[in-house]
C-alpha cells in the first residue's frame, strides 16, 4: 500500500510539473492532444459572471477575484489531465488525481474542460462563495427534464468549491478556499466526495469523515466573528441529497434543475442564457424553447430590487424559491427526514397547511420557541419558521446542517413574505 502512495505522489508531482518529466513518453503524447483541446476552450475561460470565473483568488491578500485571476488561466498552460472517474470505484484520495481543478499561486483554476455554471438561487452556506462546474464524458449530453434535476449521463462530474470571505463587507475578496466537493454520476444515483484543501494549499484530501473548520471573519458591522463550517461527512451529505420515492431511496443532486439554471450568465462579456448555451454547445439535449421553461426568481434580483420593494407576486415567488432551494431537499414529500415533520416547503406544494400555515409542528422541540405554528400569516414574530431561520442554536435552527450563521437577507425575505400574507387566526 505504501508503494502505491509513493507512485501516486510521483504522479501528482508529474501533473504539477506539466508533464515534463523525461521517460513518460505516453504522457507527453497525451499532452499534445490536450494542447489543441485547450485552445478550443478559451472561449469557455471567458465566462465571467460573478460565479463562473474559471479561477478565483483563494487567499492571497492582494490578488483580486475575477479578471486578474482569470488572466492567470490564460497564461498558464492548460494542459493537465482530467481523469474520468469510475463512479463505482472508491474515491481517489487526492483531488489532484482527478484533475478537475487545481490551485496555482493561490488561485483556484478549473480544468479547461470543465463547464462553469451558476444557479439563480443558491443554498446559503455561511456566505460561502461557491464555484460550480460540470464535466460530461465525451460524446454524452445531459437530457432535459422539466421537473427535478436534469438527467446527467453516467460518469458526469459536478464540482463545487467553497470559498469563504475574510470580510463580509467585501464578500468576493480575500477568499479562503476550504473544500471542493466532487459529485459523480453513477448508474442509479450520485456519489459525493468531499475534498478538504491541505494547509499548504497545494492539493485537497478526501475526508469522508468530515471535519469542522472554525473560520474567523469580520461581519458587515466590523465585528470579529467565527463561522463553524462543516465539511460534511459522507453520510451527512445524504441528509440533503437522499430522496425517497416509490422506487426506493437514492442520492440526487439539488441545484441543477432547469428552473435554477434558466438564467443569464456572461460569456466573453456578453449576456447569454445559460440553458441555451448548454444546449447550443450540445451539452444539453431535448430542451424546449426557452419561453416554455420555468424560471426561479433569482437571488440577485432580490438583492437588486430589495426585499421591501418587491411586489406581492414577486415576493411570493422569491420566498417560495428561497425556501425551495434551502429547505425542500428535506421538507418535501421525497425528503427522507423532512417527511417526519409533514412540512413541505417545495415551491410547487400548493397545500397551505402542509406549507406550514397554521400548522402545529410535530416535534420542533426548542425550535418551536414557545410559538404554536410554523407560519402565522401576517405574524412573522409568531411563526416558528422565522425563529428557526433567525436562531443559530443547535437543535433549534434550520437548516440543521450547512450553516452556523444567520442569513440576514434570506430571513428578511421570509419575514416580509409572512408579514404580507392575509392574516388568519390560527387558534382553535
91-110 positions binding other proteins, by CB under 8 A: 91-93, 99
Helix (H, G, I), strand (E, B) or coil at 400: coil
Considering the rule CB under 8 A, would residue 153 count as an interface residue with other proteins?
A: no
Interface segment toward other proteins; rule CB under 8 A; list 161-169, 293-301, 320-328, 387-395: 387-395
- Contact between 373 and other proteins by CB under 8 A: the answer reads no
Interacting residue with other proteins among 130, 173, 234, 416 (CB under 8 A): 234
Q: Which is nearer to other proteins, 11 or 146 (CB)?
A: 11
Tell whether residue 370 is a contact of other proteins (CB under 8 A).
Answer: yes
Binding flag, residue 368, other proteins (CB under 8 A): yes
What string marks each residue from 14 to 43 as x (binds other proteins by CB under 8 A) or -? -x---x----x-xx-xxx-xx-xx---x--
Does position 142 interact with other proteins (CB under 8 A)? The reply is no
Q: Which stretch binds other proteins (CB under 8 A): 66-74, 201-209, 284-292, 318-326?
A: 201-209
Q: In angstroms, what is the minimal distance from the CB of 242 to other proteins?
A: 7
From the CB of 60, what's the least distance to other proteins, in Å? 27
- Rg of the chain over Cα atoms, rounded to whole angstroms, equals 22
What are the b/e assignments for 389-398, b being 16+ CB within 10 Å?
A: bbbeeeebbb
Cα separations in angstroms, 301 against 120, 305, 314, 346: 9, 6, 10, 20
Selection from 139, 163, 154, 161 nearest residue 191 by Cα = 154
Instruction: Work out how close the CB of 77 gets to other proteins at its nearest, in angstroms, rounded to a whole number.
Output: 12
Span of 133-141, 216-224, 308-316, 374-382 interacting with other proteins by CB under 8 A: 133-141
Is there a contact between 179 and 162 (Cβ–Cβ < 8 Å)? yes
In 41-104, which residue ranges form alpha helices assigned H by DSSP? 42-45, 67-75
Residue 306 interacting with other proteins (CB under 8 A)? no
Please choose, out of 8-16, 59-67, 309-317, 417-425, the segment that lies near other proteins by the rule CB under 8 A.
8-16
Q: How far is the CB of 346 from other proteins (least distance, A)?
A: 16
C-alpha cell at 83: 481523469
Least distance to other proteins from the beta carbon of 264, Å?
Answer: 24
If binding is defined by CB under 8 A, does position 195 make contact with other proteins? Answer: no
**Distance in angstroms (rounded) separating the CA atoms of residues 357 and 158:** 36
CA-nearest of 74, 94, 81, 95 to 18 is 81
* Total Cβ atoms within 10 A of residue 416: 17
Q: Which of 274, 327, 404, 410 binds other proteins (CB under 8 A)?
A: 404
Helix-helix angle 312-327:408-419, to 10 degrees: 130
User: Quick one: which of 252, 314, 337, 420 contacts other proteins (CB under 8 A)?
Assistant: 337
Using the structure block, give the residue that is written with the C-alpha cell 416535534: 363
Q: Distance (Å, rounded) from C-alpha 284 to C-alpha 57?
A: 30
Rounded (10°) CA dihedral 387, 393, 394, 395? -40
Listed ranges 253-261, 363-371, 374-382, 415-423: which one lies at the site for other proteins (CB under 8 A): 363-371
State the minimum distance, in angstroms, from the CB of residue 113 to other proteins: 5
For residue 204, state whether it binds other proteins (rule: CB under 8 A).
no
Here the cell at position 394 is: 443547535
Among 82, 253, 267, 284, binds other proteins (CB under 8 A): 82
Question: What is the CB neighbour count within 10 angstroms for residue 273?
Answer: 17
Q: Cβ distance 415 to 376 under 8 Å?
A: no
Which of residues 82 and 159 has its CB atom nearest to other proteins in the complex? 82
φ, ψ of residue 295 to 5 degrees: the values are -135, 125
| Residue 247 found at the interface with other proteins (CB under 8 A) | no
DSSP single-letter state for residue 95? G
Compare residues 316 and 382 and give the one whose CB is closer to other proteins.
382
Question: Locate cell 437522499: which residue?
Answer: 242
Phi, then psi, of 114 in degrees rounded to 5: -80, 140
210 binds other proteins (CB under 8 A): yes
Only segment of 61-69, 84-92, 258-266, 306-314 that touches other proteins (CB under 8 A): 84-92
**Does position 362 bind other proteins by CB under 8 A?**
yes
Amino acid at each position: 500500500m505504501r508503494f502505491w502512495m509513493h507512485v501516486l505522489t510521483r504522479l501528482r508531482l508529474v501533473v504539477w510539473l506539466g508533464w515534463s518529466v523525461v521517460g513518460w513518453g505516453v504522457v507527453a503524447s497525451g499532452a499534445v492532444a490536450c494542447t489543441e483541446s485547450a485552445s478550443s476552450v478559451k472561449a469557455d475561460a471567458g465566462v465571467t459572471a460573478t460565479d463562473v470565473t474559471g479561477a478565483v483568488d483563494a487567499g492571497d491578500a492582494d490578488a483580486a477575484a475575477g479578471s486578474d485571476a482569470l488572466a492567470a488561466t490564460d497564461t498558464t498552460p492548460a494542459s493537465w489531465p482530467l481523469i474520468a472517474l469510475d463512479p463505482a470505484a472508491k474515491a481517489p484520495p487526492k483531488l489532484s488525481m482527478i484533475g478537475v481543478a487545481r490551485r496555482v499561486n493561490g488561485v483556484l483554476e478549473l480544468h479547461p474542460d470543465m463547464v462553469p455554471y451558476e444557479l439563480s438561487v443558491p443554498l446559503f452556506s455561511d456566505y460561502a462563495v461557491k464555484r460550480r462546474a460540470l464535466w460530461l464524458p465525451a460524446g454524452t449530453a445531459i437530457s432535459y427534464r422539466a421537473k427535478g434535476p436534469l438527467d446527467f449521463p453516467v460518469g458526469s462530474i459536478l464540482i463545487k468549491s467553497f470559498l469563504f470571505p475574510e470580510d463580509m463587507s467585501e464578500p468576493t475578496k480575500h477568499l479562503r478556499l476550504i473544500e471542493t466537493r466532487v459529485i459523480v454520476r453513477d448508474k442509479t444515483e450520485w456519489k459525493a466526495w468531499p475534498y478538504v484543501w491541505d494547509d499548504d494549499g497545494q492539493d485537497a484530501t478526501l475526508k469522508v469523515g468530515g471535519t469542522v473548520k472554525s473560520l474567523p471573519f469580520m461581519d458587515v458591522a466590523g465585528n470579529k466573528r467565527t463561522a463553524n463550517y462543516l465539511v460534511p461527512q459522507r453520510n451527512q451529505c445524504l441528509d440533503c441529497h437522499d430522496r425517497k420515492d416509490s422506487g426506493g431511496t437514492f442520492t440526487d443532486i439539488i441545484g441543477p434543475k432547469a428552473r435554477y439554471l434558466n438564467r443569464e450568465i456572461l460569456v466573453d462579456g456578453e449576456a447569454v442564457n445559460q440553458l441555451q448555451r448548454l444546449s447550443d454547445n450540445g451539452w444539453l439535449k431535448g430542451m424546449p424553447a426557452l419561453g416554455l421553461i420555468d424560471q426561479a426568481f433569482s437571488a440577485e434580483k432580490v438583492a437588486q430590487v430589495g426585499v421591501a420593494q418587491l411586489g406581492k407576486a414577486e415576493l411570493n415567488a422569491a420566498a417560495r424559491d428561497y425556501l425551495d432551494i434551502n429547505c425542500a431537499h428535506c421538507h418535501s414529500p421525497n425528503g427522507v427526514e423532512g417527511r417526519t415533520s409533514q412540512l413541505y416547503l417545495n415551491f410547487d406544494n400548493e397545500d397551505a397547511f402542509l406549507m406550514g400555515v397554521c400548522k402545529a409542528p410535530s416535534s420542533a422541540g426548542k425550535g418551536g420557541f414557545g410559538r404554536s405554528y410554523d407560519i402565522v400569516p401576517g405574524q412573522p414574530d409568531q411563526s416558528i419558521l422565522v425563529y428557526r431561520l433567525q436562531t443559530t442554536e443547535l437543535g433549534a435552527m434550520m437548516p440543521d446542517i450547512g450553516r452556523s450563521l444567520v442569513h440576514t437577507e434570506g430571513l428578511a425575505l421570509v419575514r416580509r413574505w409572512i408579514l404580507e400574507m392575509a392574516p388568519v387566526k390560527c387558534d382553535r
